[in-house]
Amino acid sequence: PPDVEALGRASWTLLHSITAAYPTRPSPSLQAETRAFLGAFARLYPCWSCGDDFGRWMRAEGGANAPRVASRDEFGRWMCEAHNAVNGKLGKERFDCERWEERWRTGWGD
């Protein structure tokens, strides 16, 4: 399997970039496809223990971590929280989710 760190960086780039390009008002069918994508992503992710944990995290907390995909802002923040859950598990610093859009969509100010 590919290097878990390089795979992770590339995958977070893909996932956050998807949220950055997501519509502000997605159709119900796109929201359903997005939820299905995330479930399939967790099952197919080629670091099996990573994907298993990610899938478990999405189903945990009585549904509180379930994907929120009703708008770009909601989805971007949810992805940031998902990434922070992995950061926490790995002992990495939490990212300030107020800044997700600056990092992944509009660019840092300076």
CA gap 12, 88 in Å, rounded: 15
76-84 long-range contacts, CB within 8 A, separation 24+ = 76/16, 76/19, 76/20, 76/22, 76/100, 76/101, 76/104, 76/105, 78/19, 79/15, 79/16, 79/19, 80/16, 82/54, 82/57, 82/58, 83/12, 83/15, 83/16
Are the beta carbons of 109 and 56 closer than 8 angstroms?
no
Q: Is 83 in the site for ligand FAD (CB under 6 A)?
A: yes
Q: Is 73 in the site for ligand FAD (CB under 6 A)?
A: no
Q: Is 65 in the site for ligand FAD (CB under 6 A)?
A: no
In whole angstroms, how close is the CB of 1 to ligand FAD at the nearest point? Answer: 12
Task: Please pick, from the candidates 69, 75, 80, 101, the single residue that binds ligand FAD as defined by CB under 6 A.
Answer: 80
Task: Please pick, from the candidates 35, 68, 77, 103, the single residue that binds ligand FAD as defined by CB under 6 A.
Answer: 103
Task: Please pick, from the candidates 35, 53, 65, 73, the single residue that binds ligand FAD as defined by CB under 6 A.
Answer: 53
Contact pattern for ligand FAD over residues 6 through 35, marking x by CB under 6 A: --xx-xx---x-------------------
Which one of the spans 23-31, 32-40, 43-51, 61-69 is the region binding ligand FAD (CB under 6 A)? 43-51
